[in-house]
């Protein structure tokens, strides 16, 4: 995934860029920089050494720059320098139509396209702020960009309509805009997280928000809490979830919805297939319940590596959703191609990686916008997948007439409370660490749940195997009595996802057999259940119904993380595993 970094300051900003590269420690090797050099603007291309080293830049006076860090070796992403300097990231769904209308090459890069649109409005007499407002009205899809107009040495603009951008104040009067949450947290003292639709002017004065009528409003920039030293990417990515989810919540609750070409097709869909591997597969399983309940549609979930060997019966009324954080997982690509070879079903890629292989194979792309994920274990990308699948489920429910207006409003309203509920779940870290102290030496564990919380249990067990190297098995609680109960004894702890809902009483009944066999019980629940001898309870936040699986997932992520820490494991790169690396061309 490419990263975007822009700097503006009264002093030379190249050393600050070098610091950013060290912090990002990315596996991307190409750095394209558009920068001020004395009084002119120039482009430079650097090929980075791995592991990332401090870069030594030429001794020039560079007081602004816009840099793109990616795996794209070609300098196609940046426009020829005219009066505008633009770097854009994301996916524009009407790229070809706009390129034709502008009479530029159809293969023009996204940055070229945005620059050409802006130039046209500037040519018609618009200010740069107005040109951005007009350009954004023409762009469809998820496009974020930073631009700078030559001659305007005091400021630049950031526009966020896709990939999240953050604007921050650093020491030394430097102002930064970047796409990476970890970077901005480490570099800046005060940060504004741009919401979808935001246009921000930043530079040598107070940063401001450009309102739809072109007027400006000073930005409120909360201080960054620097007291926490976060030791692993996995923990950092777990803790980023209130922010990554808030970005999606804002995007899908403020009048924005799914891309029009996909929305237009939803009413005609009769059956859904979700394809994925690993954690993405668990997201698909959770979502399958939402699709049945909220959209009233038959749904099947395929594990990609198995799906490729099955006989497929799909037709144009089927919607196939391939889910992959990286968009590069070979099994999921193969499963998608398998169904494409045998049918003309509509296809969607749900991914965190714009420009990934999966996105090039499908009719529609949905992006999860959770930022680059460094740890092999999927955490923030997984909860973002869940939320996007929820949005797809209620959008299908709306299109198919399954949800009344009031029901739709209620399911959308629940999204608004999610980031706070996730933040409250993170506050349980101390209790979960205590559990990890009791559990990390156990060779075998069960994780159980019912309904949507059964796949959550599967994900929890998966994480315990993946990072804590413990043999954890997940079961639907009602299945314990059909076999697994033979293994329960005082050496086998049972972790229980027990949201206080229609299944709660049945869950309590299931637990009686565990206690009868001296199994130690660890319950996550928002119910009023007391800890007693042999049963330890952590009280989960209240208020979620459909979206409750997300907070239980977060709690189990923390449990696996702390068990792994106590066992001294390599948290971010567990043995024998590798994260699929992504190549973004946009
Ligand atoms: C595996 C990882 O290799 O790939 C899992 O260990 C991940 O953590 C799985 O969930 C699927 O990856 P993706 O990118 O297709 O979601």
Position 75 scores a pLDDT of 47
Can you tell me which atom of ligand 1 is nearest the CA of 378? 8
Position 168 scores a pLDDT of 94
Residue closest via CA to ligand 1's atom 15 equals: 324
Residue 375 beta carbon below 6 angstroms from any ligand 1 atom: no
Please name the residues in contact with 343: beta carbons below 8 A apart, sequence gap of 6 or more: 312, 313, 314, 315, 316, 318
Structure confidence by residue, pLDDT tens digits, 128-165: 999 999 999 999 888 999 999 988 878 999 999 877 89
Structure confidence by residue, pLDDT tens digits, 393-423: 999 999 999 999 999 999 999 999 999 999 9
- Model confidence at 338, in pLDDT bands (50, 70, 90)? very high
Position 79 scores a pLDDT of 60
Position 489 scores a pLDDT of 85
Q: What is the 3-state secondary structure (H, E, C) of 22-34?
A: HHHCCCCCEEEEE
Question: Best mutation site among 351, 378, 583 for ligand 1, i.e. most ligand atoms within 8 A of its Cβ?
Answer: 378
Residue 333 beta carbon below 6 angstroms from any ligand 1 atom: no
59 burial type by CB count under 10 A (0-12 exposed, 13-18 middle, 19+ buried): exposed
Q: What angle do CA 82, 84, 85 make, to 5 degrees?
A: 105
Please name the residues in contact with 569: beta carbons below 8 A apart, sequence gap of 6 or more: 467, 468, 469, 575
Domains along the sequence of the chain with CATH: 3-218 (3.60.20.10), 234-425 (3.40.50.10490), 426-566 (3.40.50.10490)
DSSP string, 96-130: HHHHHHHT--TT--HHHHHHHHHHHHHHTT--HHH
Residue 586 predicted with pLDDT over 60: no
The residues that bridge with 92 in the sheet, in sequence order, are 141
Residue 24 beta carbon below 6 angstroms from any ligand 1 atom: no
Q: How far is CA 54 from the centre of its chain?
A: 29
Average pLDDT over residues 48-76: 79
Residue 353 beta carbon below 6 angstroms from any ligand 1 atom: no
Residue 379 beta carbon below 6 angstroms from any ligand 1 atom: no
44 burial type by CB count under 10 A (0-12 exposed, 13-18 middle, 19+ buried): middle
Question: Higher-confidence residue: 462 or 49?
Answer: 462
Question: Best mutation site among 389, 579, 584 for ligand 1, i.e. most ligand atoms within 8 A of its Cβ?
Answer: 579
Residue 583 predicted with pLDDT over 50: no
Determine contact, residues 282/422, Cβ cutoff 8 Å: no
Determine contact, residues 473/447, Cβ cutoff 8 Å: yes
DSSP string, 157-202: EEEESSS--EEEEPGGG-EEEES-HHHHHHH-SEEEEPPTT-EEEE
Other Cβ atoms within 10 Å of 172 Cβ, number: 10
Residue 381 beta carbon below 6 angstroms from any ligand 1 atom: no
Average pLDDT over residues 18-28: 83
Q: How far apart are CA 36 and CA 297, in angstroms?
A: 55
Position 7 scores a pLDDT of 96
Mean pLDDT over each residue of the chain, to the nearest integer: 89
- Model confidence at 226, in pLDDT bands (50, 70, 90)? low
Q: How far apart are CA 436 and CA 444, in angstroms?
A: 14
Question: How many Å lie between the centroid of ligand 1 and the Cα of residue 333?
Answer: 13
Token pair for 236: 């950092």
Position 578 scores a pLDDT of 65
Q: How far apart are CA 137 and CA 234, in angstroms?
A: 37
| Percent of all residues in the chain with a pLDDT value above 70, rounded to a whole number | 95
Question: Higher-confidence residue: 256 or 534?
Answer: 534
Residue 298 zone, left/alpha/beta (φ > 0; ψ -120 to 50; rest): beta
Residue closest via CA to ligand 1's atom 9 equals: 278
Q: How far apart are CA 141 and CA 138, in angstroms?
A: 10
Average pLDDT over residues 119-123: 93
Residue 304 beta carbon below 6 angstroms from any ligand 1 atom: no
Structure confidence by residue, pLDDT tens digits, 66-98: 999 887 766 444 566 577 899 998 888 899 999
Question: Higher-confidence residue: 263 or 256?
Answer: 263
Q: How far apart are CA 249 and CA 245, in angstroms?
A: 6
Other Cβ atoms within 10 Å of 121 Cβ, number: 18
DSSP symbol at 220: P
- Model confidence at 227, in pLDDT bands (50, 70, 90)? low
Question: Best mutation site among 274, 278, 356 for ligand 1, i.e. most ligand atoms within 8 A of its Cβ?
Answer: 278
The residues that bridge with 159 in the sheet, in sequence order, are 145, 199
Position 330 scores a pLDDT of 93
Residue 385 beta carbon below 6 angstroms from any ligand 1 atom: no
Q: Which helix (H) or strand (E) holds 541?
A: none
Residue closest via CA to ligand 1's atom 1 equals: 278
Question: How many Å lie between the centroid of ligand 1 and the Cα of residue 279?
Answer: 6
Token pair for 505: 């009483």
The residues that bridge with 47 in the sheet, in sequence order, are 30
Position 483 scores a pLDDT of 84
449 burial type by CB count under 10 A (0-12 exposed, 13-18 middle, 19+ buried): buried
Which range, 8-17, 24-33, 293-302, is most confident? 293-302
- Percentages helix, strand, coil for the chain (3-state, rounded to 5) are 40, 25, 40
């Amino acid at each position: 995934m490419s990263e975007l970094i822009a700097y503006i300051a009264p002093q030379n900003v190249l050393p600050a860029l070098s610091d950013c590269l060290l912090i990002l420690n990315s596996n991307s090797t190409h750095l394209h920089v558009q920068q001020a050099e004395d009084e002119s603007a120039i482009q430079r291309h650097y090929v980075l050494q791995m592991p990332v080293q401090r870069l030594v830049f030429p001794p020039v006076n560079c007081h602004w720059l816009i840099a793109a860090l990616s795996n794209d070796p070609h300098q196609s992403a940046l426009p020829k320098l005219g009066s505008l300097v633009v770097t854009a990231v994301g996916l524009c769904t009407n790229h070809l139509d706009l390129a034709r209308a502008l009479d530029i090459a159809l293969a023009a890069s996204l940055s070229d396209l945005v620059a050409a649109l802006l130039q046209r409005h500037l040519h018609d007499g618009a200010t740069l702020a107005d040109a951005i407002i007009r350009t954004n009205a023409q762009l469809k899809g998820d496009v974020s960009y930073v631009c700078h107009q030559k001659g305007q040495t005091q400021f630049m603009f950031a526009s966020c309509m896709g990939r999240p951008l953050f604007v921050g104040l650093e020491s030394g009067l430097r102002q930064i805009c970047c796409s990476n949450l970890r970077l901005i947290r480490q570099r800046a003292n005060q940060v504004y997280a741009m919401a979808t639709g935001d246009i921000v002017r930043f530079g040598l004065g107070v940063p401001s928000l450009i309102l739809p009528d072109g007027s400006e409003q000073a930005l409120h920039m909360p201080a960054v809490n620097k007291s926490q030293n976060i030791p692993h990417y996995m923990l950092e990515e777990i803790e980023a979830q209130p922010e990554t989810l808030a970005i999606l919540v804002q995007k899908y609750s403020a009048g924005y919805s799914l891309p029009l070409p996909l929305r237009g097709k939803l009413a005609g869909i009769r059956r859904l297939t979700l394809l994925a591997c690993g954690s993405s597969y668990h997201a698909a399983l959770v979502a399958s319940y939402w699709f049945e309940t909220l959209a009233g549609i038959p749904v099947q979930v395929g594990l990609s590596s198995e799906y490729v060997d099955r006989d497929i019966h799909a037709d144009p009324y089927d919607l196939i959703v391939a889910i992959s954080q990286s968009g590069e997982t070979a099994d999921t690509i193969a499963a998608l191609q398998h169904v494409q070879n045998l049918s003309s079903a509509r296809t969607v890629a749900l991914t965190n990686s714009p420009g990934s292989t999966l996105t090039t194979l499908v009719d529609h792309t949905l992006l999860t916008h959770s930022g680059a994920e460094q740890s092999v274990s999927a955490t923030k990308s997984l909860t973002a997948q869940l939320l996007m699948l929820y949005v797809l489920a209620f959008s299908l429910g709306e299109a198919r007439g399954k949800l009344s207006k009031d029901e739709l409003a209620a399911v959308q309203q629940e999204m608004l409370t999610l980031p706070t509920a996730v933040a409250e779940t993170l506050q349980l870290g101390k209790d979960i660490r205590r559990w990890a102290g009791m559990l990390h030496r156990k060779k075998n564990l069960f994780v159980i749940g019912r309904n949507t919380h059964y796949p959550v249990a599967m994900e929890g067990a998966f994480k315990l195997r993946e990072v804590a190297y413990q043999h954890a098995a997940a079961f639907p609680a009602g299945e314990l009595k059909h076999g697994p109960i033979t293994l329960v004894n005082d050496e086998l702890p049972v972790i229980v996802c027990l949201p206080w809902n229609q299944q709660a009483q049945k869950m309590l009944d299931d637990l009686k057999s565990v206690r009868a066999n001296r199994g130690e019980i660890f319950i996550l629940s928002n119910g009023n259940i007391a800890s007693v001898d042999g049963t330890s309870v952590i009280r989960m936040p209240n208020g979620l119904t459909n979206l409750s699986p997300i907070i239980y997932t977060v709690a189990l992520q923390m449990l696996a993380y702390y068990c792994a820490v106590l066992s001294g494991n390599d948290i971010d790169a567990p043995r024998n595993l590798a994260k699929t690396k992504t190549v973004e061309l946009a």
